[in-house]
Chain A
Amino acid sequence: MTPASLAPRRDGAALFCILAIACFLATCAAIAAGVAARAAQAWGSSVQGALTVRVVAPDTPEAASEVAAALAATRGVRAARAVSPARAKALLENWAGPDLALEKLPTLRLVELEIDRARANPAYARALQRALAANGYETEIYAPGPWADEAAEAAARYRAIALTAAAFLTGSALLTAGLAGRARVFADRTLLAPLADMGAPRWRAAAPFAARSALEGFAAGVIGAVVAGLFAAWLTAQALPRLPLPDWRFVLTPGDLLPLAATPLLAGLLAGAGARAAALRLYARAAKIG
């Protein structure tokens, strides 16, 4: 006889459903928190480390691309992109309104820079400007104002809130898993007193409960995680075309799917551990009454 064959056959559908729902919520929260935290961090970094370079001279169509290439190789610059004339025109329209006579204005030759957050200070901008001047490019460099620091702080707060909420939900789901395992033991505790009276080893008395609960926790975790994964995929597919930021960092990535694997494992582990602890406690109580 294997220890698992002692496992209770009682139907625990309600408990199983509650655990699956808890796992679904926890997985959703973990995925959402991962995306939100990364988005907040990326946004904060990009706001603080964003510079815009306007090439004043030479006034040639290639000037922006040449400056972008030169800056991309500079230490502290994470990315440098020349802004296309069409996008520069669109930016001006947004800023000045549709009545502006754009054809009478000089062509804007812009380069968007992303720099390390540690270098986001006026001295670094001036150093870049001097280096470009030494290479024959007259430029103006625009840094975001004090609002960028406030925005970055807000992003950090949102990130912390998202992670805390996910931690609470995940903790609740894991607590539910542990309590489900414990409840399973209490529902079928009548097996433990006879085993204690017969001198069955403690581990052997607890093993069927732990194994059964761990399997149930794992199965509930798999169901919850799979449904959460499908939901997240559907949500991403719905949201992707409407996202104003066409940046991969702001949408679902393979790394965000880690909770799909972690949830069933943790649910199984906690349910098994909860059941084992409860079974051992009840066994000890049954074995010794004095």
Chain B
Amino acid sequence: MQAYPGLDGAIDARAEAPRGAGAPAPAAPAGDSAAIVSLTDVYASYRRNADALRGVWFEARPGAVVSVLGPAGAGKTALIDVLRLALPPHRGVARILGADALRLSPNTRRTLKQRIGLLAQTPVLADHFTAFENVALPLRMAGRKPGAYEGDVAELLSFVGLAPKDDRPAGMLSGSERRRVAAARAVVAQPRLLLADEPTAGLSPDLAGRVMRLLVSMRRAGAAVIVATQDETLASSLSGPHWRIAGGRPAPAGPPGADRPA
């Protein structure tokens, strides 16, 4: 397990990171206590008769940085897929950003997705776009003018250690570069719900620290940040709440490593 420079304590709002494109002044999470995500006895599956999530009770509130720790195949990615509205549950109640995920019209689903930032386990980029164009994509989709976001996108790319003027298409970037581009893209539009699946996989400790500071900084704007990982060090460095997942069922837990002898 790797240690992250500057992350030997909890990563929280004190960490410095760019605010993202057109970001409003940081909003205090306090006073907005309605859960951003609330799953009640949720079952979901990719294939018939093979539930990836079984009876999940889960919650994330504004400003929370939630870690979901578990081994490969435990259901972390399935949980992320449910939360990003890509995998509809077949049982239970899933309220995401205030809407019932089982009763979404296509328009509502689309609107909600615009408020969700995603850093997938395998980052999917538009391979013919540059890193800058990939990061700017959510803002372009939102109808922002290039002049209004160019500086912010460049700042985000610089923060994660990428050159804003790099004109290589994303298809030519390394795995580490692609992950950092995806991280910048996930936060650029100031999402209300930020989902990160193994966000530091393949990154050097220094770059992992930068990426995590960037992701966690979203809590300052009142977003719920959910980090799924099998890295106990990373999970323990987050402020919590902490969950452990096994067999498709997450359960609340103390900070990873807290029960270990000193």
Extra A-B contacts (10), CB below 8 Å, given A197-B116, A198-B114: A188-B127, A190-B124, A190-B171, A191-B126, A191-B128, A194-B134, A200-B141, A287-B109, A288-B86, A288-B87
A194–B112 touching, CB < 8 Å: no
0/1 interface trace, chain A 1-34, chain B, CB 8 Å (1 if under): 1000010111000000000000000000000000
Residue B246 interfacial (CB < 8 Å): no
Cα(A193)–Cα(B170), bound, Å: 14
Q: Using C-beta atoms within 8 Å of the partner chain, give the interface range for chain B.
A: 35 or more
User: Which B residues have a C-beta under 8 Å from some C-beta of A?
Assistant: 44-46, 81, 84, 86-88, 106, 109-114, 116, 118, 120, 124-129, 134, 137-138, 140-141, 143, 146, 170-171, 185, 189
Select from chain B the residue with minimum beta-carbon distance to A289: B86
Q: Which residues of A contact B116 (CB under 8 A)?
A: 197, 199
Residue A290 interfacial (CB < 8 Å): yes
With contacts A287-B86, A289-B46 taken as known, whether A198 is within 8 angstroms of B129 at the C-beta atoms is: no
**B103 CB, min distance to chain A CBs, angstroms:** 15
0/1 interface trace, chain A 177-204, chain B, CB 8 Å (1 if under): 0000000000010110111111111101
**A206 CB, min distance to chain B CBs, angstroms:** 14
Q: Which residues of A contact B138 (CB under 8 A)?
A: 198
B46–A198 touching, CB < 8 Å: no
A193–B128 touching, CB < 8 Å: no
Cα(A188)–Cα(B126), bound, Å: 8
CB interface residues, A 51-103, toward B, < 8 Å: none
Cα(A195)–Cα(B88), bound, Å: 19
| Partner pick for B124 among A9, A188, A193, A204, CB 8 A cutoff | A193
Q: Which residues of B contact A194 (CB under 8 A)?
A: 124-126, 134, 137, 185
Cα(A132)–Cα(B84), bound, Å: 93
Q: Which residues of A contact B126 (CB under 8 A)?
A: 190-191, 194
**A279 CB, min distance to chain B CBs, angstroms:** 13
A289–B87 touching, CB < 8 Å: yes
A201–B110 touching, CB < 8 Å: yes
Cα(A289)–Cα(B126), bound, Å: 19
A-B contact pairs, 29 of them (CB 8 A): A1-B143, A6-B140, A9-B128, A10-B128, A188-B128, A191-B126, A191-B128, A193-B124, A194-B134, A194-B137, A195-B141, A197-B84, A197-B86, A197-B118, A198-B114, A198-B138, A198-B189, A199-B110, A199-B116, A199-B141, A200-B110, A200-B141, A201-B110, A204-B141, A289-B46, A290-B45, A290-B46, A290-B86, A290-B87
| Partner pick for A198 among B87, B106, B113, CB 8 A cutoff | B113
Select from chain A the residue with minimum beta-carbon distance to B134: A194
A289–B81 touching, CB < 8 Å: yes
**A200 CB, min distance to chain B CBs, angstroms:** 5
Q: Which residues of A contact B141 (CB under 8 A)?
A: 195, 198-200, 204
B124–A197 touching, CB < 8 Å: yes
Q: Which residues of A contact B45 (CB under 8 A)?
A: 290
Q: Which residues of B contact A1 (CB under 8 A)?
A: 140, 143, 146
Q: Which residues of B contact A8 (CB under 8 A)?
A: 128
Q: Which residues of B contact A289 (CB under 8 A)?
A: 46, 81, 86-87
Select from chain A the residue with minimum beta-carbon distance to B129: A191
Q: Which residues of B contact A196 (CB under 8 A)?
A: 113
Select from chain A the residue with minimum beta-carbon distance to B44: A290
